[in-house]
Amino acid sequence: MKPGFKQALLHAELETFWRMWPRYIEEDLAPHGHPSMSEEEKAELLSFAHRQRWLKLSRREVDPARLELMTLDGKVAGFVIYVIYHSEDGKCVIAEFCLLPEHRGKGLGKQLYLALENRLRQQGAGYFVLENQNPPSRDFWAGLGFIEDKGYAWSENAWVKQ
Domain extents in the chain: 3-161
- For 156, residues 6+ apart whose C-beta sits below 8 A from its C-beta are 150
Query: The pTM is what?
Result: 0.89
C-alpha span between 67 and 54 (Å, rounded): 8
- Per the DSSP assignment, residues forming a β-bridge with 79 are 69, 98
Q: Which ranges of 9-159 would DSSP assign to H, the alpha helix?
A: 11-23, 39-45, 48-59, 108-122, 138-143
C-alpha span between 139 and 42 (Å, rounded): 26
C-alpha span between 129 and 9 (Å, rounded): 24
Q: How far is CA 13 from the centre of its chain?
A: 16
Give the pLDDT score at 159. Answer: 93
- Per the DSSP assignment, residues forming a β-bridge with 126 are none
Give the pLDDT score at 32. Answer: 61
With vertex at residue 7, the alpha carbon angle to CA 96 and CA 82, rounded to the nearest 5 degrees, is 30
C-alpha span between 138 and 158 (Å, rounded): 11
The predicted-structure confidence for 95-118, as pLDDT tens digits, reads as follows 999 999 999 999 999 999 999 999
CATH of domain 3-161: 3.40.630.30
The predicted-structure confidence for 53-111, as pLDDT tens digits, reads as follows 999 999 999 999 999 999 999 999 999 999 999 999 999 999 999 999 999 999 999 99
Q: Which residue from 96, 51, 53 is spatially nearest to 78, judged by alpha carbons?
A: 96
